[in-house]
Amino acid sequence: MKSKKLFLVIAIAVAVSGVGWVAFGNLGENLVYYWTPSELHDHGDKAQGAIVRLGGMVKTGSIVPGDPLTFTVTDGTAEVKVLTTEIPPAMFREGIGVVVEGTVDSNGTFESKRLMVKHDNSYKAPTGGKMPDQKEMFGTLADDDAANAGKTPVAAGTP
């Protein structure tokens, strides 16, 4: 009877240890972080050649359409020039948050192999349980179009 209890306690301890190791083992190694332009500059030569993620805002007036697409990422303190042959997402524009993945060359230019934009996933349900009319539903798109009037959109294959 005593040996059965001891075996049960050991089996539970091994199971809990196994689940803990799977859940938390190497967790830090599997997390993917990104550096800001300031952090990228702080790492200097160590950042060159390493595959890193760079996060920040697309600087206003810095987008140069073409192949490669060129723009500047800033954190308000430092800036990094980015070149990418990636086709930008439809939401890509000045002033939006981006995360780019790639390497820093010897000139300090970030050559990106992956371009992601940050966006707000918030959903606002209609008030009062009624469906809004179309003008109300698409008003934010019209407001966004008005705010971007006169700006050149970035499109794939634009020289």
Task: State the CATH number of the domain containing residue 88.
Answer: 2.40.50.140
50, part of any domain: yes
74, part of any domain: yes
Confidence of residue 63 (pLDDT cuts 50, 70, 90): very high
**Domains contained in the chain, number:** 1
Range of the domain at 37: 30-119
What is the average pLDDT across 89-109? 88
**Model's pTM, two decimal places?**
0.57
125, part of any domain: no
Q: Is 92 left (phi over 0), alpha (psi -120 to 50) or beta?
A: beta
98, part of any domain: yes
Nearest to 100 by CA among 60, 121, 73: 73
96, part of any domain: yes
Give the rounded percent of residues in the chain with a pLDDT score beyond 90: 20
Q: Is the pLDDT of residue 7 over 70?
A: yes
